[in-house]
Structure 1
Amino acid sequence: MDIRGFLYVLAAAFMWGVIGIFAKEVLAEGVTALEIAFWRAALAWVMFVIHAAIQKELRVHRTDLPFLFGFGFICVTLFYGSYQLAIRDVGMAMAAVLLYTAPAWVAFLSWLVLKEEMTPTKSICVAMTIIGVSCISLGPSLLSGGTIQLDSFGLIAGLVSGFTYALYYIFGKKYLHKYATPTIFVYALPFGAALLFPFVEFHPKSAYAWSMLISMAAVTAYGAFNAYYAGLKRMEATRASVIATFEPMVAAVLAYILFGEKFSLLGYVGSSLIIAAVFLVVLSGSKSSRAAGEEA
């Protein structure tokens, strides 16, 4: 496995891990969650347009437009919407666990669509990441004897968020060979944001709120997606999805450092499982690369 691919995906996970920090600041300014999602997509689109225009990568084949718009609908409108609904109905912890069923979805879809081999090591890594995220997110409730909400609609919404999140990986693998990352998002983001628009209640915003929204778009959308897709060009989708589960661990560590939110014992266990899974992915990727080199 190309170590640059690993570092790119890890960088993307770190950038996605700070979403909560920006969101917390903007929510405190009276901006709703769906409006944050809208502006994150819309402002990042402007950045991708500038990037694509400078690189002269704005044009796409007309026959690919339905797929690019479909990507915007599934991976922006449905993903953002379903995740917010899951948070509303089953709480943030359970929503995070359901979101990070994504590696399992990626493993299945990679085998079905991309014809990637589903090895025992990959299966073990996927299971470790899901268990790890569960421990981090649900640990405090489980150890304190608290109840976990199990609303049926919320569970379905959470699973939809995990599935649509997984499609980022599959779509990227299918279209990265045809278009640069900025080109894909120039067409996908405005369509996804437009479909969110009718459900957004806009509020007046301070200069600080705008600065946080622009920074959020620059770091967690423009920067993260550029880094992630650069990594995806160099590694299998299943491996990339496992490495990306560093995101909730980064978020939990930053929450502890900045806001005093502490890990539970299960949180530490979950973090260890995620780190171990990532090391397994890296080691198995290195062995595969060596084996391929020897065969060549």
Structure 2
Amino acid sequence: MSRNMSMISIAAGAALWGIIGLFVTFLYDYGFTPVQVVAVRVSSAALLLLIYTYFNGKKDLRINWKDSHYFIGTGIISIVFFNLCLFIAMEETSIAVAVTLLYTAPAFVTIFSRFLFGELFTGNKILALAITLIGCSLVVGLIPFSGFSLSLYGVLAGLGSGFFYALYSIFATYALRKYSSVTVTVYTFVFASIAILPFAGLGDIKSTFTLPAVWLNIGGIGLFSTTLAFLLYTKGLEKIESSRASIIATIEPVAATLLSFFVFREILTSWQLAGFILVVTAVILVQRRPRSPFAKRKAS
């Protein structure tokens, strides 16, 4: 795959992540709760990834079960709670607002990495944190304050999605020291499925599973916005460095915003749009390589 095709692959994967709100919204219309949507997403993705990995490299399915704590971190603490918070935010606010709040994740990663891995605070990172804070304040209506119109529960859930999504990077950093990215991803969804399926209450809505439209949306969220998105993004990383890939991936909130406007007629105010642009700018800024640090690594 050429470098240009790799960039297209990453962009396509990010765009598929961005349209997840389409499937989530329709599943809500059929009576699914956020917990049930998370359950069908992670379980369908786990099944598809297991099948894909089995036929493309069985060695990636081998793990030492003593390392299960890695996948409890990536699968349960991160993926389950990240998805749950994201889908609650979509239900309580809007697709565009929810995905914008999700993109606070790089800011959380920056803070976590400073204290856990000793990564430097740089001018770009500090500026990105400030821009993220201002951008989110604009999106949720704190600036300019004219009465808080959004659901506080939804806003907190949106910020929670960014927090738990950031934790994935932290837990995955440790897991990737022993396993390939494919192995980590497969078992992340396997552990997530094992954790949430017993509590999802899918049996309470078993009648809805007779509807073809329900299966189309489950297939959409599991195949397109999870499995295929991951495979395309990972394939692109073969030729594109991760920092550049993260910048290309900002197509995700753009796709989500376009979807919310053209399909669901959700409209961002001018202040919210400005906040959205600031959050995306912060994500791009935090990926740039700094010239000089503001903090020095402490001696171990």
Gaps of 5+ in 2: 293-300
- Give, in whole Å, the separation in 1 of the partners of 2:32 and 2:195: 19
Q: Offset of 1:6 from its aligned partner?
A: 7.2
Look up the match of 2:198: 198
Look up the match of 2:73: 70
AA of the residue aligned to 2:212: A
* Contact kept in structure 2, 1:41 and 1:193, CA below 8 Å: yes
Alpha carbon RMSD of aligned pairs, Å? 3.8
TM-score in terms of structure 1 length: 0.76
* Contact kept in structure 1, 2:107 and 2:128, CA below 8 Å: no
TM-score in terms of structure 2 length: 0.75
Match of 1:138 among 134, 137, 140: 140
Deviates most, 182-191 or 207-216: 182-191
The change in CA–CA distance for 1:66 and 1:4 in structure 2 (over 3 A counts) is farther
- Give yes or no for the alignment of 1:220 onto 2:220: no
- Give yes or no for the alignment of 1:268 onto 2:269: no
Q: Offset of 1:69 from its aligned partner?
A: 2.8
Q: Offset of 1:61 from its aligned partner?
A: 2.9
The change in CA–CA distance for 1:104 and 1:146 in structure 2 (over 3 A counts) is closer
Look up the match of 2:118: 115
- Give yes or no for the alignment of 1:22 onto 2:23: yes
Look up the match of 1:169: 169
* Contact kept in structure 2, 1:78 and 1:161, CA below 8 Å: yes
Look up the match of 1:210: 215
The change in CA–CA distance for 1:61 and 1:146 in structure 2 (over 3 A counts) is closer
* Contact kept in structure 2, 1:48 and 1:222, CA below 8 Å: yes
- Give, in whole Å, the separation in 2 of the partners of 1:127 and 1:12: 28
- Give yes or no for the alignment of 1:248 onto 2:253: yes
Q: Offset of 1:96 from its aligned partner?
A: 5.5
How many residue pairs were aligned?
280
Q: Offset of 1:76 from its aligned partner?
A: 2.6
Deviates most, 166-175 or 75-84: 75-84
Give the secondary-structure state (helix, strand or coil) at the position aligned to 1:259: coil
Q: Offset of 1:109 from its aligned partner?
A: 1.6
Q: Percent identity?
A: 32
* Contact kept in structure 2, 1:141 and 1:148, CA below 8 Å: no
Q: Offset of 1:240 from its aligned partner?
A: 6.7
Deviates most, 52-61 or 97-106: 97-106
Look up the match of 1:44: 45
Gaps of 5+ in 1: 289-296
Give the secondary-structure state (helix, strand or coil) at the position aligned to 1:147: coil
- Give, in whole Å, the separation in 1 of the partners of 2:129 and 2:142: 23
- Give, in whole Å, the separation in 1 of the partners of 2:104 and 2:144: 19
Q: Offset of 1:75 from its aligned partner?
A: 1.6
Q: Offset of 1:166 from its aligned partner?
A: 0.3
AA of the residue aligned to 1:209: V
The structure with the largest helix share of the pair is 1
